[in-house]
Amino acid sequence: MKTLLCFGDSNTHGSAPMDHIDDIRRFDGQTRWPGVAARALGETWRVIEEGHPGRTTVHPDPIEGLEKCGRPALTVALASHRPIDHVVIMLGTNDLKTRFSVTAFDIALSVEHLVADVLASDSGPERGAPKVLLVAPPPISEDSWLGEIFRGGADVSRGFATRYREAAERQGCGFLDAGAIIESTPVDGIHFEAEAHATLGRAIAEAVASA
């Protein structure tokens, strides 16, 4: 049996579109994109969900918590779940928060460090490295109640596809532009509707199976 590790933020966790700041609803396991991917891949794959709401690439969050930094969390996940055949990384949306003040180029460089960490690890079969699929999150919008937290982030997010593709090419890993197949919900400008989870899950499964 092969193992797929899905490493990301609230959109990997399966957070439903949020109506207010205390809205912590989560789609069920069959609806979340890792669950969709698991069904598409079939019984020969074990899919592990490592989605943490608010997770960034490399930034401890001064407001939401130091544990939001993705890089050390990825190191723990790689060690906890080895051997891992394939890792999907979809991060960067929370780096768009105004408090971090970073560009699309900076975010892509940050997520590239995570890709490099996986490829330099011995967490794959026979102490090799897992394969990696880097997913560029879709652009966000600032028209909802979350807009103030992400002010300026919509413009930055439109640079994700190009910059992430460049990072994937430098690292020699797989790449998927989520923004080419799904959109963030207008409800909060950040999260995905159930239909988007289904589309993304199938696309990721196809990319992983063909790698």
Amino acid letter for position 183: E
pTM exceeds cut of 0.95:
yes
- What digits encode the pLDDT tens for the residues 89-104? 999 999 999 999 999 9
- What digits encode the pLDDT tens for the residues 170-207? 999 999 999 999 999 999 999 999 999 999 999 999 99
Per-residue pLDDT at 47: 98
CA dist 10 and 61 (Å) reads: 15
Per-residue pLDDT at 188: 97
Per-residue pLDDT at 115: 98
Number of domains in the chain: 1
Q: In Å, how far from its chain's centre is CA 58?
A: 13
What domain range is 31 assigned to? 2-209
**Residue 88: helix, strand or coil by DSSP?**
strand
**Residue 127 belongs to domain with CATH number:** 3.40.50.1110
Per-residue pLDDT at 101: 97
Tell me if 95 sits within 8 A of 113, measured CB to CB.
Answer: no
**Could you give phi then psi for residue 56, rounded to 5 degrees?**
-105, 180
- What digits encode the pLDDT tens for the residues 109-118? 999 999 999 9
Per-residue pLDDT at 59: 98
Q: Which two tokens stand for residue 175?
A: 């790449």
